[in-house]
């Protein structure tokens, strides 16, 4: 597959996103990975091991939906978690994965297998949600180095929760996806705000009156 204008444009857009997310402290020490759709069977994804705040357009590669490089190179270790989402959702354009402190800490505090967000105006930042009055459920999966097994677990969950906009891996970070890079960034930012609110509520409950 030859890298064309679309490839380089998306690589530059994701490199810029990487700088923003690093400035927020969400992708420390080469963690995190990003991707965008290239075609009906290929995805642009970050190469393994690069600092996400210092990405250049050269630090990406094309993979197929099985996560295999199209023209060589070594993709991020968690690439399969990206490509399974593109395979499932034909309109999907971008996936962002961060090791943000709020998602990481909240997932370690919560013993359940989900975070249930209720009553927040910002729930409306998510595609298809038009009111604060519903419940936004973000599932939490246990962390593992067996990415194939985790990808199967996420797939099984999404089979019956097609409106799920994101998920958290416990003690690890968050995966968020969208029908455009802008939509994905908006939802990731909203999710971080909501997770910080949930942490603050727990702090307030612990504080003496």
Taking the least distance from each CB to Zn ion, the nearer of 7 and 86 is 86
Tell me which residues in 172-201 interact with Zn ion (CB under 5 A). 173
Number of residues that bind Zn ion (CB under 5 A): 1
Taking the least distance from each CB to Zn ion, the nearer of 7 and 50 is 50
CA end-to-end span of the chain, whole Å? 63
Torsion, Cα 67 70 76 82, to 10 degrees, reads: -40
Tell me which residues in 89-128 interact with Zn ion (CB under 5 A). none
Please give the Cα distance from 64 to 68 (Å, whole number).
5
Q: Identify whether the C-beta of residue 62 lies closer than 8 Å to the C-beta of residue 69.
A: yes
Determine how β-strand 114-118 pairs with β-strand 94-98. Answer: unpaired
Task: Compute the least distance from the CB of residue 121 to Zn ion, in Å.
Answer: 29
User: In Å, how far are 39, 67, 169 from 176, measured between CA atoms?
Assistant: 20, 18, 11
Taking the least distance from each CB to Zn ion, the nearer of 67 and 173 is 173
Please give the Cα distance from 72 to 62 (Å, whole number).
8
Compute CA 120 distance to the chain's CA centroid, rounded to the nearest angstrom: 21
Nearest residue by C-beta to Zn ion? 173
Taking the least distance from each CB to Zn ion, the nearer of 165 and 173 is 173
Q: Identify whether the C-beta of residue 100 lies closer than 8 Å to the C-beta of residue 180.
A: no
Span of 106-114, 151-159, 165-173, 176-184 interacting with Zn ion by CB under 5 A: 165-173
Report phi then psi at 121, rounded to 5. Answer: -55, -35
Span of 41-49, 86-94, 104-112, 167-175 interacting with Zn ion by CB under 5 A: 167-175
Task: Compute the least distance from the CB of residue 23 to Zn ion, in Å.
Answer: 18
Task: Compute the least distance from the CB of residue 143 to Zn ion, in Å.
Answer: 9
Taking the least distance from each CB to Zn ion, the nearer of 11 and 27 is 27
Tell me which residues in 26-65 interact with Zn ion (CB under 5 A). none
Span of 3-11, 19-27, 87-95, 171-179 interacting with Zn ion by CB under 5 A: 171-179
Contact set with Zn ion (CB under 5 A): 173
């Amino acid at each position: 597959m030859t890298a064309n204008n679309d490839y380089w444009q998306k690589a530059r857009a994701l490199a810029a996103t990487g700088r923003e997310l690093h400035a927020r402290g969400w992708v420390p020490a080469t963690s995190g990975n990003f991707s965008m759709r290239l075609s009906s069977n290929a995805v642009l994804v970050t190469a393994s091991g690069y600092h996400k705040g210092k990405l250049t357009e050269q630090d990406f590669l094309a993979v197929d939906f099985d996560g295999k490089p199209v023209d060589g190179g070594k993709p991020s270790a968690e690439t399969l978690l990206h490509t399974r989402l593109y395979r499932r959702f034909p309109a999907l354009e971008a996936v962002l994965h961060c090791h943000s402190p709020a998602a990481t800490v909240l997932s370690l505090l919560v013993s359940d297998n989900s975070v249930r967000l209720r009553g927040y105006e910002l729930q409306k930042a998510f595609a298809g949600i038009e009111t604060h009055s519903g419940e936004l459920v973000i599932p939490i999966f246990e962390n593992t180095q067996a990415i194939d097994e985790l990808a199967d677990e996420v797939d099984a969950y999404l089979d019956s929760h097609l409106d799920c906009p994101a998920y958290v891996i416990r003690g690890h970070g968050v995966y968020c996806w969208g029908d455009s890079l802008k939509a994905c960034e908006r939802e990731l930012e909203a999710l971080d705000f909501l997770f910080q609110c949930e942490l603050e509520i727990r702090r307030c409950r612990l504080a003496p009156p």
